Amino acid sequence: MLVMLVPGVGVAFTGTPAALTVARHQRAAYSRLPAVTWVLTGDVVYCPAYPEGWTFAPHSGCHLDARVSEQDVLSAGRVVRLDGTVSALSQPTLRYVVSARGWYRDAAGATCWQRYPVPFVAALFVSYPFPGQTVSILSTSKTEIVSQALTPKFGLRELDYIDPKTYVEPREVVYTTAAPKTYRVAYTFRFPAAAGPSIATPTCAG
């Protein structure tokens, strides 16, 4: 299973029958959720050059450790709005809001937002963004299913820790190998009973 946090390019899975069955259950589970919130830590960097203000390490010119938190508002399992914040030591906290209305970002406390010409796609939250990726089940128990997604072309290994009763995923760990180093990021997910309110994004004049 792969949890999509940003719109991707595909919706199909390739993998073992057990993994594909879990992915189908997950899509059904997320189709009933109003929202997912998550926190991202690890080898993630504060990077104002990106519209959302962050990206994964390594990245030239982006050397600060960052902490990202985001709310993804869902409709029938698709991400229809996301609101996020990016923080790093000694740097201004950044906010971003993305929906069909546009992609906006600014520093926290600002009275207006910068709009970015980035297309929006209401992607499935449980999706398949990389070519050549395969999924499999590493282990199962009464309390947890551990699913693995491998993408050799990009040096990606993802581990998803899934609740076997609800098929939602409390956490996810992603490893990226860029020789000679391997980078690690970890997501912690929560599943609120309702989505938070929209954030007003008045654009800056001029």
- Is 2 inside any structural domain? no
- Is 199 inside any structural domain? no
Q: What is the pLDDT of residue 104?
A: 94
pLDDT in tens, the chain (206 residues): 444 444 444 457 789 999 999 999 999 999 999 999 999 999 999 999 999 999 998 888 898 889 999 999 999 999 999 999 999 999 999 999 999 999 999 987 888 999 999 889 898 999 866 788 899 999 999 999 999 999 998 899 999 999 999 999 999 999 999 878 999 999 999 999 999 998 888 888 75
Nearest to 18 by CA among 147, 192, 154, 205: 147
Up-side HSE of residue 26: CA atoms within 13 Å toward CB?
Answer: 27
- Is 171 inside any structural domain? yes
**Domain enclosing residue 107, as ranges:** 17-190
Nearest to 183 by CA among 191, 173, 197, 196: 173
- Whole-structure pTM value: 0.90
Q: What is the pLDDT of residue 206?
A: 56
- Is 83 inside any structural domain? yes
- Is 1 inside any structural domain? no
- Is 127 inside any structural domain? yes
State the total domains in the chain: 1
Q: CATH number for the domain including 136? A: 2.50.20
Alpha-carbon distance of 63 to 91, in angstroms, equals 12
- Is 7 inside any structural domain? no
- Is 4 inside any structural domain? no
